Amino acid sequence: SMISYAFLCHALIIADRFQGTRLCALFFISSKNMAVMAKNRTQAELDTDKLLIAKMLSKFLVGQLKDTYGAIMENISIKNLIEVWSWHTRTSLELNFNVQFLVGQLKDTYGCGNSRYIEDPLVAFGCCLLYGRETRICIPVPLYHCFGMVIGSLQMVTNGSTCVFPSPAFESGATLHSVSKERCTSLYGVPTMFIDMLNHHDFDKFDLKSLYTGVMAGSPCPIETMRQVISQMNMPSVTVCYGTTENSPVTFQSYRDDVLEKKVSTVGRSHPHIETKIVDENGDILPVGESGELCTRGYMTMLEYWNDPTKTKEVIKSDRWYFTGDIGEMDEDGFCRIVGRIKDMIIRGGENVYPLELEQILYKHPDVKDVQVVGIPDDRLGEEIFAFIQIKDDHSCSEEDIIKYCKEKMARYKIPRFVKFVKEFPLTVTGKVQKFKLQEIAELDLQS
């Protein structure tokens, strides 16, 4: 994908290597045409009329990364800035302004084309957290994802807040160190990041007194983890956000002063000027409190899946309602609770089982650090329940202990048939658990 879209650009921003992968080498090996084009470029070809704000491709080939940013900035004139502003004011709001790629949760890859309205939710988002110039945000999440890109780094623009980036990729120790050293007031993360920080072996040595708020988002937030973040990380005003790349960046958000029970068990209420509804399989709106598919409509809805009209029509209907694929329920006050993903739901012997519900219960087990539940094929019942569990450091637990605990906490048909203890889960680059890979692991285990 990167190769095909690079030909549409005047310049490309890319790191030389990341986590052992030689990105530049991979890029040029993948495209001889791009390599030839790069070899023919020189520093003198910096085109100020086009306002190139990236390293020239020829620089990558010779490995001259140093001082390139300064050289480019020297070529920017007042004329360039006026031209950019002129473009900004005459460009349609309905054109693709930002394309974000989704990789890994499913087995395919696709880009979400968002309009300039992607910026608008930042106003409501900042108001929920009372962000301002004094705010210092620690952002360990990736910057190419809407979490880090929009509600993260753009806070510098919309609210004048300071953004702190602790490490090139998430490291729990580096994040805690940055919060302590830089006196951060807000901390972002997906649930797995907060779980790793809470379980860091030196957690008690870090001074987190400067924190008071933050955001947990990206995947369903375990209730017990939320309680620990509030009590152990000094984040009484932490909020939960719900959004998708297709509804970038935020649709629902809890408020700082929401009651604790609502804050830890729901994703809050919808942002202003956004329509939301819960529907059945026929698309009819369900009564308050009933579970169904969550649908949204508003300025934040993407324009399209990039160059894929067929897939776009699958999720965005002719009236612009976006069908999220998430199962939710809404109470009389407008608070939304995410029950699970439609594709993740397990049908065991005719009974619907929501993995998220089981995970929330197992999170409360004193020895469990993290848990993921998936369904696997079964000849007799259609599907069976398989639980992958991470145990806390210096704790021990057996399969029998887990089953006994489940018998005390849930209906019989919801009890996992299989339990596997693991050190880690397969994750996407944004920190989300890849459940389809867990299903593959489970099926291989049962075959061996």
Angle between helices 355-362 and 399-409 (to 10 degrees): 110
Taking the C-alpha atoms of residue 314 and residue 302, their distance in angstroms, rounded to an integer, is: 13
8 Å CB contact between 252 and 268: yes
pTM value > 0.85: no
Looking at residue 54, its pLDDT comes to: 37
CATH H-level superfamily of 99-270+300-310+330-340 = ANL, N-terminal domain (3.40.50.12780)
Residue in the structure block whose two tokens are 């942002």: 271
Among 311, 312, 338, 313, which Cα is nearest to 326's? 338
Instruction: For tokens 């369904």, name the residue.
Output: 375
Structure tokens, 67 = 């001082």
Residue 79's DSSP bridge partners are none
Q: Look at residues 92, 160, 158, 87 and name the one whose alpha carbon lies nearest to residue 119.
A: 158
Handedness of CA 221, 225, 227, 229 (dihedral sign): negative
* Cα–Cα distance for residue pair 186/402, rounded to 1 Å: 35
3-state per-residue secondary structure call for 1-12: CHHHHHCCCCCC
pLDDT of residue 204: 96
The Cβ of residue 87 has, within 10 Å, a number of other Cβ atoms equal to 10
Q: What is the pLDDT of residue 44?
A: 46
CA angle centred on 427, ends 17 and 238, rounded to 5°:
100
The tokens of 220 are what? 């369903």
Q: pLDDT in tens for each of the 448 residues of the chain?
A: 444 444 455 556 666 677 777 766 666 655 544 444 444 444 444 343 333 333 334 444 434 445 566 666 677 778 877 877 777 677 777 788 888 887 644 456 788 998 888 888 888 898 889 999 999 999 999 888 889 988 999 888 888 999 999 998 899 999 999 999 999 999 999 999 999 999 999 999 999 999 999 999 988 888 889 999 999 999 999 999 999 889 888 999 998 889 888 988 899 999 999 999 999 999 999 999 999 999 999 988 999 998 889 999 999 999 999 999 999 999 999 999 999 889 899 999 989 999 999 999 999 999 999 999 999 999 889 999 999 999 999 999 999 999 999 999 999 999 999 999 999 999 887 778 899 999 999 999 998 7
Q: Cα torsion for 255, 258, 263, 269, to the nearest 10°? A: -50
Q: What is the pLDDT of residue 291?
A: 94
Could you count the other beta carbons within 10 Å of the beta carbon of residue 288?
11
Cα dist from 44 to 39, 47, 49, 56, 78, whole Å: 13, 8, 13, 10, 20
Q: Among 243, 239, 224, 256, which Cα is nearest to 371's?
A: 224
Directed axis angle between helix 23-30 and helix 32-39, to 10°? 110
CATH superfamily of 345-447: ANL, C-terminal domain (3.30.300.30)
Distance of CA 372 to the CA centre of its chain: 17
DSSP codes joined into one string, 152-205: IITHHHHT--EEE---SS--HHHHHHHHHHHT-SEEEE-HHHHHHHHT-TTGGG
Give yes or no for a contact between 264 and 252, defined as CB atoms under 8 angstroms apart.
no
Cβ–Cβ < 8 Å for 325, 341: yes
pLDDT at 81: 77
What are the sequence ranges of the domains in the chain? Answer: 2-90, 99-270+300-310+330-340, 345-447
| CA–CA dist 217, 338 (Å, integer) | 12
The one-letter amino acid code at 207 reads: D
Q: Which residue has the tokens 């469990």?
A: 368
Per-residue pLDDT at 69: 61
**Would you call the peptide bond into 287 cis, given omega within 30 degrees of 0 as the criterion?**
no
